A and B are shown apart, each in its own frame.
Chain A
Amino acid sequence: DQQVKQNSPSLSVQEGRISILNCDYTNSMFDYFLWYKKYPAEGPTFLISISSIKDKNEDGRFTVFLNKSAKHLSLHIVPSQPGDSAVYFCAASDRGSQGNLIFGKGTKLSVKP
């Protein structure tokens, strides 16, 4: 049973527009959420994170929103750039683990010029 779900395998957005990537989770023990960006044949690169005590965290063009009651988080990228084209993974962790991350299957974002 998947604890972290990214239901959209792909997303296509025009350059300059907003990209919204969604992630749902089932484990209420998760208290920290992260977004990673991954290019083919490379390891994931950390983008942004959010603690469960917050509902929003912003870093430049990237903003992560957390809705705990809905067990849902989203990553907003605005404005989207062609260089943002990659696979984005949502990951979650709980304080009781050793920092283990549970990943979603990823969403492939394509930003078209």
Chain B
Amino acid sequence: GAVVSQHPSWVICKSGTSVKIECRSLDFQATTMFWYRQFPKQSLMLMATSNEGSKATYEQGVEKDKFLINHASLTLSTLTVTSAHPEDSSFYICSVILRTYEQFFGPGTRLTVL
């Protein structure tokens, strides 16, 4: 499989600030990475598909100006939550796709917005 890391593992921030979450593929060059969000007792919801060298594809209902995704290299994708609000508090998880259907997930980032 692929080894995926995320940084930070948890972050607490004040309302109105921006937070950047990094997703790294440690042993695999990933042209495609996915960003998911999970609210308590809910399923993982796909937010966007991050493609290296091009713009991310956002799922319906996800504000692209609020959740900025940059996939500048084959091993790094970043998700920036801009002007974070308490309702953005969630567990954010990224994944890389090794072959069609085979996704390997990072450990996740717990965001708490006060």
- Chain A residues near B (Cβ < 8 Å): 4, 9, 32, 34, 36, 41-46, 49, 89, 93, 95, 98-106
Contact A43 B106 (CB under 8 A): yes
Can you show 17 pairs from A to B with CB atoms below 8 A apart? A4-B43, A9-B41, A41-B91, A41-B110, A42-B108, A43-B4, A43-B6, A44-B105, A46-B104, A98-B97, A99-B97, A99-B101, A100-B34, A100-B46, A102-B46, A105-B41, A105-B42
Q: Which of B71-109 contact A (CB under 8 A)?
A: 91, 93, 95, 97, 100-108
Q: Which of B32, B44, B93, B106 contacts A99 (CB 8 A)?
A: B32
Q: Interface range on chain B: under 10, 10 to 19, 20 to 34, or 35 or more?
A: 20 to 34
Binding site for A on B (CB under 8 A): 1, 4, 6, 9, 32, 34, 41-46, 49, 57, 91, 93, 95, 97, 100-108, 110
Cα distance A52–B37 in the bound complex, in angstroms: 27
Determine the distance from Cα of A60 to Cα of B91 in the docked complex, in whole angstroms: 31
When chains A and B are docked, how far (Å) is the Cα of A101 from the Cα of B4? 17
Q: How many interface contacts (CB-CB < 8 Å) are there between A and B? A: 63
Which of A9, A43, A49, A104 is B101 in contact with, Cβ under 8 Å? A49
Q: Assuming the A-B contacts A32-B101, A99-B101, are A43 and B93 also in contact, with contact meaning beta carbons closer than 8 angstroms in the complex?
A: yes
When the two chains form their complex, are residues B104 and A89 in contact, meaning their CB atoms are under 8 A apart? no
Report A-chain residues with C-beta under 8 Å of the C-beta of B110. Answer: 41
